[in-house]
Structure 1
Amino acid sequence: MTGVLEGFATIAVIVSVGWLLAHLRVLDDSAQVNLSRLAFYAASPALLLTVMQRTPLDAVLSRNLLTSLASFTAIAVLYLLLARLRWPGESLGSRLIGSLSAGYVNAGNLGIPIALYVLGDVAWVAPTLLVQLLLITPVYMALFDSDARGERPTLLRSLRRMFSNPITIGAIAGLLIAVLDVDLPRVVADPIELLGNMAVPSMLVAFGISLRRGPRPAAGASAGHVWTIVALKILAMPAIALGIGLALGLRGEPLFAVVVTAALPTAQNIFTYAVRYRREVTLARDAIFISTFASVPVIIAIAGLFHAVTNV
């Protein structure tokens, strides 16, 4: 339990540095964008390559991966059923944004540092990253295209998007290195590792800037919709992950990892999708903002429960 609190304290300090620098106008919105781009296009792929090449294949292609996929699917279906009853006029694109906001976890920007400081190893978030990047994202992108353009999604278009994502490329490259048992020379490995070390602080400082300069969330008529999504994301999804994990035979640290990962907030790239396809931009933004704060006490409570029951 102490390790969890120390982990969140470490993350909070770095986020606070970003907030303070934005408050003092040392950094602005352009700095947030540039730090995020650095993390997305260079540092995070390097970090994932480093992590994946050191992770045994059975630790990635495991029951944790199946649990992550099943948990997302269950939450997405649950949201779509609720949306049909409570918001019957939503378009396909709006429902896609809602289901992603309810089930697509921030396994990159916040999942990596939380896995590092709370779970003790970034490798625990690798199965969820792979599920989201290699399976969920291509399917949703094809559906978004279909909704926006009135075109039938194609396999080629989905594959092109998948393999143009730098985080996907980094994860796959690391996985291939591990599978082929390639030993990278130090002149290559050391710069990659050094670049990867920039990922976590860059993401957290950028997030701190967004907290200082972002608008007030969940105001007006959309508040009920936002809080429904947040409840699904922060409360229902970890509960479902717990049930599925137990059913698949997970216990101890692996079960702890999938439940904590499921309790992570909505991923920030959902906002990017909302802007790109002009669907529920404010809803996505508010779900990300509120679920980020709400996830902290929930993850601490999960850690306390697991520590009391299993001494993880």
Structure 2
Amino acid sequence: MQGVLNGFTTIGLVIAVGALLAHLRIVDLGAQQVLSRIAFFVASPALMVITLSRADVHQVLSANLGASVAAVVVAAGIYIALARAVWHRRMGETTIGALSASYVNAGNLGIPVASYVLGDAAFVAPTLLLQLLVLQPLALAFLDADARGGRSSWWQLLTRPVRNPLTLGSLAGVVLSITGWSLPTVVAAPLGLLGDMAVPAMLVAYGIALRLGPGLGRAGSVAELVTTSTLKLLVQPAVAWFVASVLLGVDGHALLAIVVTSALPTAQNIFVHATRYDRASVLARDTILITTIGAVPVILLVAALLG
């Protein structure tokens, strides 16, 4: 349990640094935009190359991944249905909302939680790969299309992800993992240095936005925020448990790993995407805040019940 608390405390303190810098007027929203762009175009792609090159990509084919996929589909699907029918959101806003409701923080929080709560960081690898190689490229394709007025053809929609820096970084990492190739030190060292900047840049930018942006729940629909937070914290892990336990017959430590991973909060990089494309950034910001706080008791409860 100490690992869960340590992971959340670390994230909270770095976010607080960003908020403090904004409060002291050392930085402004312009700095938040710069940090988000650096994270999106440079640091995160470098991090993906390094992270995925060291991962076992064959784990993405694990049968247990079906439960995680089902949980994502249900959570995102419910939000998409409500966003289109009730709140009448555009494609870009709907995409960010769906990500907020289903895209877990499998990297900078999931890895320490998997290490300390589950005993092995490899448990988070399937979800990490699913998000990086499937969910994120698909979402970025829709965001790109929406940014261009939705006039893209299906061919453009399908091919645009491979021109996105995050997707290219992920694909490069997968190729290195599958082939077993190692980058020369002259390349790996600067990539590692740039990748180390990704998570701090995201968190500091997020802290700046918390301090200088609209107050919690003051922009957009409160009902929409409650929906994304509830889907992420309660619905997604519940669906993961049902599919894994009842339909697939998974039990023991493997079941705990699936449910804990699904209960992780919304990833900070969703806010980076929202800022980059100027779509539903306040919804993403607020959902990340609420789910990061709320995930602590949820994961502790799951660990107590299934551990």
The TM-score by the shorter chain falls in which range?
Answer: 0.7 to 0.9
The amino acid that maps onto 2:19 is: W
Secondary structure of 2:214's partner?
A: coil
The Cα of 1:135 is off from its aligned counterpart by 3.4
Matched, 1:105 2:103: yes
Identity in percent: 37
The Cα of 1:18 is off from its aligned counterpart by 1.1
The 5 Å alignment of 1:208-219 reads: 208-219=207-218
The 5 Å alignment of 1:193-208 reads: 193-208=192-207
1:80-116 Cα deviation digits (max 9, x unpaired): 454577x2x7266388347525534254xxx422123
Secondary structure of 1:303's partner?
A: helix
The amino acid that maps onto 1:241 is: A
- Gaps of at least 5 residues in structure 2 are none
Cα distance change on mapping 1:43 and 1:185 into 2, 3 Å: same
CA contact (8 A) 2:39 2:201 kept: yes
Distance 2:39 2:220 in 1: 35
- Gaps of at least 5 residues in structure 1 are 276-280
Report the more deviating stretch, 162-171 or 237-246. 237-246
1:217-239 Cα deviation digits (max 9, x unpaired): 32388322332232223221222
1:230 maps to what in 2? 229
CA contact (8 A) 2:143 2:277 kept: no
1:271 to 264, 269, 274: 274
1:243 maps to what in 2? 242
1:59 maps to what in 2? 59
Cα distance change on mapping 1:123 and 1:206 into 2, 3 Å: farther
Distance 1:296 1:133 in 2: 20
Cα distance change on mapping 1:21 and 1:128 into 2, 3 Å: same
The 5 Å alignment of 1:72-221 reads: 72-82=72-82, 87=86, 90=88, 93=91, 96-97=94-95, 100-101=98-99, 103-105=101-103, 107=105, 111-120=106-115, 125-136=124-135, 139=138, 141-142=141-142, 145=145, 149=149, 151=151, 153-154=153-154, 156-219=155-218
TM-score by length of 2: 0.80
CA contact (8 A) 2:274 2:281 kept: yes
- Number of residues of Structure 1 aligned to a counterpart in Structure 2: 298
CA contact (8 A) 2:111 2:121 kept: yes
Cα distance change on mapping 1:297 and 1:33 into 2, 3 Å: closer
Matched, 1:302 2:298: yes
Secondary structure of 2:108's partner?
A: helix
Cα distance change on mapping 1:30 and 1:52 into 2, 3 Å: same
Tell me the C-alpha RMSD between the 2 structures: 3.3
The Cα of 1:158 is off from its aligned counterpart by 2.1
CA contact (8 A) 1:238 1:260 kept: yes
